[in-house]
């Protein structure tokens, strides 16, 4: 039994997704802790010769390449067949994938076919022991899949004691990508796609496809102005865009603000949105549900503007401004303009 750690690499054209590189970095660490190898899976079209250099340097010991016309763009069934059949043969103990549209489409199918456990949107992954008190059984070296749950009111640690692989999805930006060695010598295996994917699996035709580069640069922004439900309206957000423009920041939002329709979905910061690590995070009318905090707690300086002095976010803020956003945000704009000249 191979028992290695696997990462499914998501590929757009010939570019490996950042989230996959983040997971390769994490996967390498998990593999080291477990004393096993890290393997990666890349499936797409005309990717051979293009993706190796984006994958191996993260410390990948074995890269399985599936290169066939029907594998790009991504559709559910062929990619499911790739992983299910590969995993039946290789028996990984852990499989990680990005918690984006592709990973969230693919992960559950694979877990359903293999009857293995899958935990979505993990914010932390660790290795540790587990005792099942009911069964009186002890397990070593399980994957702790840690995620906020139940509307972010609790943080749960999930384990899959019996079933393999232990599967988890992680959002982009939650883990950090770090090249281990630019010349890392990993083995590349060009797999025979037809052996894994029967012709009958190619059942979805992609008629039309528009992908644009992200409209915002939240992930890399040094300063973020984020608005919550307390902004009250779309117009409230206009004020944040103005502040952001003045201080050269990007605008983000909490889920409550997105759900209320105050701003675009891709501005969402938090467990089910983007994870950010800016130098300065200005939280405007954000109470600080744990899912939101999960996505911004590593910010350098946190400034919270809230009229509720007991807002949970205030406990992690470096500066707490007790006041309404309507009062404070225009003043921030005004005094920045005055002082920065």
Partner 1 sequence: MSLKIVVLAKQVPDTRNVGPDAMTPEGTVNRAALPAIFNPEDLNALEQALRLKDENPGSTVTIVTMGPGRAAEVIREAMFRGADGGYLLTDRAFAGADTLATSYALSTAIKHVCPDVDLIIGGRQAIDGDTAQVGPQVAEKLGLNQITYTEEILSCKDGKITVKRHIDGGVETVETALPVVLTVNGSAAPCRPRNAKLVMKYKRALAPMELVPGTTFAELPYADQYEKKPYLVLGQLTCADVNADLNQCGLAGSPTKVKNVENIVFKAKESKVLTGSDEDINGLIQELLANHTIG
Residues 139-168 that bind partner 1 (CB under 8 A): 144-145, 148-163
Minimal distance, residue 97 CB to partner 1, in Å: 12
Q: Does 320 bind partner 1 (CB under 8 A)?
A: yes
Structure tokens at 103: 């990973």
Residues 210-229 that bind partner 1 (CB under 8 A): 210-214, 223
Residue closer to partner 1 by CB (options 48, 124) is 124
Structure tokens at 132: 């099942």
What gap in Å lies between CA 221 and CA 227, rounded to an integer?
16
Q: Does 314 bind partner 1 (CB under 8 A)?
A: yes
What gap in Å lies between CA 311 and CA 177, rounded to an integer?
33
How is residue 23 annotated by DSSP?
A: H
Residue closer to partner 1 by CB (options 48, 76) is 76
Residues 250-269 that bind partner 1 (CB under 8 A): 256, 259, 265
Q: Which residues contact 219 (CB under 8 A, 6 or more apart)?
A: 172, 173, 274, 275, 276
Q: Does 43 bind partner 1 (CB under 8 A)?
A: no
Q: Give the SS3 label for residue 40.
A: strand
What gap in Å lies between CA 98 and CA 26, rounded to an integer?
12
Q: Does 200 bind partner 1 (CB under 8 A)?
A: no
| Chosen residue from 2, 14, 18, 77 binding partner 1 by CB under 8 A | 77
Residue closer to partner 1 by CB (options 139, 184) is 139
How is residue 222 annotated by DSSP?
A: S
Binding mask 98-137 for partner 1 (x = CB under 8 A): --xxx-xxxxxx-xxx-xxxxxxx--------x-x-----
Do the beta carbons of residue 323 and residue 307 sit within 8 Å? yes
Residue closer to partner 1 by CB (options 113, 180) is 113
Do the beta carbons of residue 228 and residue 200 sit within 8 Å? no
Residue closer to partner 1 by CB (options 115, 185) is 115
């Amino acid at each position: 039994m191979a028992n290695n750690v696997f990462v499914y690499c998501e590929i757009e054209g010939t570019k490996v997704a950042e989230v996959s590189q983040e997971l390769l970095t994490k996967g390498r660490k998990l593999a080291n802790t477990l004393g096993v190898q890290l393997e990666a899976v890349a499936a797409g079209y005309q990717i051979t010769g293009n993706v190796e250099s984006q994958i191996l340097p993260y410390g990948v010991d074995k890269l399985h390449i599936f290169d066939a016309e029907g594998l790009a763009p991504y559709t559910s069934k062929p990619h499911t067949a790739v992983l299910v059949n590969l995993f039946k043969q290789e028996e990984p103990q852990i499989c990680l994938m990005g918690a984006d549209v592709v990973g969230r489409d693919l992960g559950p199918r694979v877990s359903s076919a293999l009857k293995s456990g899958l935990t979505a949107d993990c914010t932390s992954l660790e290795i540790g022991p587990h005792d099942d008190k009911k069964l009186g059984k002890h397990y070593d070296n399980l994957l702790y899949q840690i995620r906020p749950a139940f509307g972010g009111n609790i943080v749960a640690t999930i384990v899959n004691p019996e079933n393999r692989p232990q599967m988890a999805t992680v959002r982009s930006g939650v883990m950090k990508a770090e090249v281990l060695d630019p010349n890392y010598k990993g083995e590349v295996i060009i797999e025979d796609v037809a052996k894994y994917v029967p012709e009958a699996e190619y059942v979805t035709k992609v008629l039309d496809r528009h992908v644009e580069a992200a409209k915002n640069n939240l992930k890399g922004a040094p300063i973020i102005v984020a608005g919550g439900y307390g902004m009250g309206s779309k117009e409230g957000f206009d004020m944040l865009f103005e502040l952001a423009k003045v201080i050269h920041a990007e605008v983000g939002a909490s889920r409550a603000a997105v759900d209320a329709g105050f701003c675009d979905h891709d501005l969402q910061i938090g467990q089910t949105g983007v994870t950010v690590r800016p130098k300065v995070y200005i939280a405007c009318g954000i109470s600080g549900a744990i899912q939101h905090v999960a996505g911004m707690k590593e910010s350098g300086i946190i400034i919270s503007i809230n009229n509720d002095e007991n807002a949970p976010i205030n406990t992690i803020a470096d500066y707490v401004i007790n006041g309404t956003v309507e009062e404070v945000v225009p003043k921030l704009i005004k005094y920045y303009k005055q002082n920065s000249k």
